Amino acid sequence: MTQKRTIGSQLDDLGLTLDLEEGDRVLEATVSLVTGNDAANCAVEHRPIDLPVKKPGSVPVPHPVERRIITVVAENQELSAEQLDRTRTWLAANGIDPALVTRGAITLEGTMCEGRPGCQYIGFQQYYLEDGNKVHSPDTNSAVKFHRYVEQSVELEPDPAWEGWELDRKAEDE
Based on the fold, state whether residues 71 and 26 are members of the same structural domain.
no
Based on the fold, state whether residues 47 and 129 are members of the same structural domain.
no
Based on the fold, state whether residues 38 and 75 are members of the same structural domain.
no
Residue at 145 is within a domain: yes
Based on the fold, state whether residues 21 and 91 are members of the same structural domain.
no
**Length of the chain in residues, anyone?**
174
Q: How many domains does the chain have?
A: 2
Decide which of 126 and 113 is more confident. 126
Signed CA dihedral, 168, 66, 125, 105: sign only: negative
At a CB cut-off of 8 Å and minimum separation 6, what does 157 contact? Answer: 86
Q: Answer yes or no: is pLDDT of 164 > 70.
A: no
Based on the fold, state whether residues 69 and 43 are members of the same structural domain.
no
Residue at 134 is within a domain: yes
Based on the fold, state whether residues 36 and 77 are members of the same structural domain.
no
Please report which confidence band the pLDDT of residue 65 belongs to, taking 50, 70 and 90 as the band edges: confident
What per-residue confidence (pLDDT) applies to 78? 93
Q: Answer yes or no: is pLDDT of 102 > 80.
A: yes
Q: Which domain holds residue 13?
A: 8-51
Based on the fold, state whether residues 69 and 153 are members of the same structural domain.
yes
Residue at 46 is within a domain: yes
Residue at 92 is within a domain: yes
Q: What is the secondary structure of the chain as a DSSP string?
A: -------HHHHHHTT------TT-----EEE--EEEETTTTEEEEPPPEEESPPPTT-S-SS-SEEEEEEEEE-TT----HHHHHHHHHHHHHTT--GGGBPSS-EEEEEEEETTEEEEEEEEEEEE-EETTEEPEETTTTEE-EEEEEEE--SPPPPPTT-S-HHHHHHHHH-
Based on the fold, state whether residues 122 and 40 are members of the same structural domain.
no
What per-residue confidence (pLDDT) applies to 21? 84
Using CA atoms, how far apart are residues 30 and 48, in angstroms rounded to an integer?
Answer: 6
Q: Answer yes or no: is pLDDT of 98 > 80.
A: yes
Based on the fold, state whether residues 81 and 142 are members of the same structural domain.
yes
Residue at 26 is within a domain: yes
Decide which of 148 and 172 is more confident. 148
65-67-70-71 Cα dihedral, nearest 10 degrees: -170
Based on the fold, state whether residues 24 and 74 are members of the same structural domain.
no
Decide which of 11 and 104 is more confident. 104
Residues 174/114, Cβ–Cβ less than 8 Å: no
Residues 105/124, Cβ–Cβ less than 8 Å: yes
Please report which confidence band the pLDDT of residue 50 belongs to, taking 50, 70 and 90 as the band edges: confident
Residue at 98 is within a domain: yes
What per-residue confidence (pLDDT) applies to 106? 97
Residue at 90 is within a domain: yes
What per-residue confidence (pLDDT) applies to 41? 67
Q: What is the largest CA-CA distance in the chain?
A: 70
Residue at 56 is within a domain: no
Decide which of 143 and 32 is more confident. 143
Using CA atoms, how far apart are residues 99 and 143, in angstroms rounded to an integer?
Answer: 13
